[in-house]
Amino acid sequence: MNVGFIGLGAMGREMAAQLLKAGHRVRVWNRSPEPVAALVELGAEAAATPAAALSGEVLISMLADDAAVADLLLDEVLLASAAVAVHVNMATVSPELARRAAELHQRHGIGYVAAPVLGRTDVAAAGNLNILAAGEAALLDRVAPLFEAIGRHTYRLGERPELANVAKISANFLLVSAVEALAEATALAEANGLAAADLLEVLTGTVFPGPVYAGYGSMIAERRYDPAFRLALGLKDVNLALDAGTAAHVPLPIASVLRDALLDGIAHGEGELDLAALGETARRRAGSA
């Protein structure tokens, strides 16, 4: 397929590379030129402007947040002149923005699909992301080959695009909750003389097996916070959950605790570290950082 791709951050770069590997023609645009150059070496074409990326069969965007999507792509003049048939927005954005984007694209005769993903950069590099997709069934069918190149499974969540964003926000809220609970449990164990690695062995071998506790648990135990899912992005997602809860009159008391823990880490200069750096916040509260 002829694909435009906008947004080449850590995740976007890997996703675009998977499309190239699968034989799709990919035209890329990014604010900073370095990722564009790297993908051109892999066979991509460079788009001089965002508008130039909206001239293929499908546009995929993987931008940071609501503001970036609105600034770059929710422009009446841009969409009125776009030749693209479908826009697949794979960013984690608010349900409100998804609704607004879908309405705006429909006015200009462009299909709109929301398809945020679950998985870190290493998962994206292996083409094993889980894709949460929502939009008209015919549009999902049309872009299915692209999803097959990027991910291992696509969950179809209905025809309203915002439902995919609700699913992603809910999943990330639960993920951050798990990491915060694991961080607090680790601080408790260490304060009482139990090594974090020993606690992790017990937890992952009994009641909490699986990639979240094993992966983040080892990072917390080893105090290894290589950036992948940054604290700053975790805060963005928790705030999205709080906003969505407010709009739907759903109290999320745990989300308020998570917001404060994330703000604590960011205030201590850890915003660019991985979410596992919540372990440092828990240790500071315990007086053992």
Rounded to a whole number, what is the largest CA-CA distance in the chain?
65
Nearest to 83 by CA among 103, 61, 53, 106: 53
Active site members = 168
Residue 164 C-beta-side C-alpha neighbours within 13 Å: 32
Report the alpha-carbon distance of residue 44 to residue 31 in Å, rounded: 16
Helix (H) or strand (E) holding 33: helix 33-41
82 within 8 A of 39, measured Cβ to Cβ: no
Contact 234, 262 (CB under 8 A): yes
Contacts of 155 (CB under 8 A, 6+ apart): 130, 131, 132, 133, 167
Report residue 150 as tokens: 């990027």
